[in-house]
Amino acid sequence: MGGVSDADFTRTLNKVRCATVRRGRRPLPQALRQRLRIMENLMLFDPETDAPVVPESLEFNRIHQGDCLELMRKISPGTIDLVFADPPFNIGYEYDEYHDQHADEDYINWSREWMEEVHRVLKPGGTFWLAIGDEYAAELKVDAEHKLGFHARSWVVWYYTFGVNCKRKFSRSHVHLFHFVKDESNFTFNAEDPRVRVPSARALVYADKRANPTGRLPDDTWILRPQDLPEGFQPADDTWYFARVAGTFKERQGFHGCQMPEQLLGRIIRVSSNAGDVVLDPFAGSGTTLAVAKKLGRKWLGCELSAEYVRSATERLEGVAEGAALDGPADPLASAPSTANGKKLGAVSAAPGEEKKNVQDEVAGSEEGEELGNTELLSSEVSRRASSVVSLTKRDVRDVIRDALVGAYFAAYDGSSVDWLLADPRLQERFHERCVEAGLIGGPADWNRELLRLRKTGGFPKRGELKKVHVTDEELDAYSFAAEISWRLTHEKYHGPSIDEIFCDPVKSAFFDRSARRLVQGVEPAPIRWAALRLRKASRELVNEVKRYHFVFAKRDFARFQKWRGFKPKRFSGQPGLYFLRDEEKKPLFVGHARNLGARLSGHLECAYFSDHVSQLSVIAGGDLPGEEYRAAFKEELVRRYHPQWNMPLVGLTNA
């Protein structure tokens, strides 16, 4: 047979490939698929016209919103140096928009598709790191190597703390990190980077002068938890220990529940890319990969399905400076919390009037302890005194936890009430830090809930006068609407939590704060959260007033609606009033009450969130308003009447 040019070969295979996809036939043989991918990296051809097609390239240093498959198809072939992907694990995790529970075959096929795009956009010497859980690690590794043409260099295990506790199986505390390259003889691996290398045993243990002063590369090993065997865990192994980014960690971005530590990404980006290289994250999420890439002087590019995550991650990246230090401890062991400072629960309850003693302290000081040795005797003594240990009841443990929790609160509260602490993110952070120092188990949401429970059940000690929160009616009028709308949006997103639960849970409260920032500018989260708590507090009285004065409201209603665009709010400056917002399909969005209607509506007109949704509005002002003492209740009556999408309906008000 005569020779066939690469262009002819590519055109032919491209036609066959397209026909195969259209007709649902089996995939092409592996050899042809690999040759096709090699040629596609050079040029794609339209199957109908044979004309060259150059894909539109996505802008660097930006997160692009949309499906990662569609977005990666816009990236020019062979333009990316490093891809780090932490895709959904298909385990039913609740994301902002993505549904994380598909049939096994569908998930594996989808994973193969996006990994094939990764192979296409990588440069010939490019690197691909994949983070994946147990459920599909084997399938995706086989597909990447045997169907897509990647070559595996390392199978790293990321071991983390703060994992999910399981009752009927061993608790998960690891993620698989697959290190793939496109060309096994040509790829970036910065083995001499001192921030990647670790001290050798020859240098650390034996102080051997022959040891390489630059250290050595990590190697393979099995390892226990660093808390259980601190001297046994070494950062040199391919089992990497970094604590999962828990709610108390300063690097935690509250808007996303799955966040990798910056130090882990730092190791990967340093070893697999160079300054000025392009780093792609197809599942940008909280933006950690891109933030680390920016700090380390790389160009970066992200894809993210959720518009909300894109907004929040972009805000995060705008605050990141090139050359800034990575968040989190560089030494993995430094992020393993010591149990030495934890709360000791070993005290055995004594009879009333007797001092409680610690079993270990008592045994260690006895003559028998000197003869047998403390460790051996302690085990014997604990067994012998099992009946005494039973007296350490749940109530006793709860008392210890309560004392530690109350102590953490008073160490952080700055004279503020529990409610204000839950409203103020800065005070909450200080409280959580004190809880960690006290060795309390659980996490921020658990500590917040227990703190609130103690306050509501009257089990909270008092220490002097608490600071009063002074908010004027004018101040409240400037942002109370944002508190109500944010409350409703959070209530809908998380399927009905109370306002207490929203502010106790860092993830939910972060969503509340982000929603509020889209509605009003220049106001800190604390006063807006406080406004929501005030609305909740006033709800019972408002419900009673709506029922008591229904005859006052019966014949009052919104009348003529006006177009949102072109509306002139200045004529209502300084006037009180109520307003009703609707979308282009006349669906009710929001009923509001303002002391200064002109200022409120001017702010709404300048806000992109309102302009994106509102098409019509109606106003009740001047002589059409009921008396001042009735207006708040009248607003709630109108909410009951129209069921607006953004208002928070009051419990106890039913439809007429």
Residues 631 and 539 reside in one and the same domain: yes
- pLDDT score, position 300: 96
Residues 543 and 633 reside in one and the same domain: yes
The answer to whether position 97 is within a domain reads yes
Give Dmax (Cα) for the chain: 103
Residues 220 and 81 reside in one and the same domain: yes
Spans in the chain with pLDDT lower than 50: 1-4, 6, 19-26, 38-45, 47, 51-55, 205-206, 220-237, 244-257, 333-394, 656
- Domain range for 451: 395-456
The answer to whether position 465 is within a domain reads no
Residues 11 and 153 reside in one and the same domain: no
Residues 401 and 384 reside in one and the same domain: no
- pLDDT score, position 545: 86
Q: Find the angle CA(367)-CA(371)-CA(373) to the nearest 5 degrees.
A: 105
Residues 277 and 405 reside in one and the same domain: no
Element (H, E) at 129: strand 122-132
The answer to whether position 320 is within a domain reads yes
Our count of domains for the chain comes to 5
- pLDDT score, position 202: 54
Helices (H), 73-179: 104-121, 134-146
- CB burial readout 607-619, b (16+ within 10 A) else e: beebeebbbbbbb
- pLDDT score, position 41: 46
Give yes or no for a contact between 199 and 234, defined as CB atoms under 8 angstroms apart.
no
- pLDDT score, position 624: 86
What is the token pair recorded at 37?
Answer: 């991918």
Strand 52-53 to 44-45 pairing: antiparallel
Look up the CATH number of the domain holding residue 96.
Answer: 3.40.50.150
Residues 601 and 633 reside in one and the same domain: yes
Residues 95 and 226 reside in one and the same domain: yes
Look up the CATH number of the domain holding residue 496.
Answer: 3.40.1440.10
What is the residue whose two structure tokens read 């190791």? 267
Residues 189 and 329 reside in one and the same domain: yes
d(CA 615, CA 621): 20
Residues 93 and 238 reside in one and the same domain: yes
Q: What is the DSSP letter of 230?
A: G
The answer to whether position 341 is within a domain reads no
- Name the residue among 163, 175, 96 with its Cα closest to residue 135: 175
- Which residues on adjacent β-strands are paired with residue 301? 62, 280
What is the token pair recorded at 500?
Answer: 């207490």
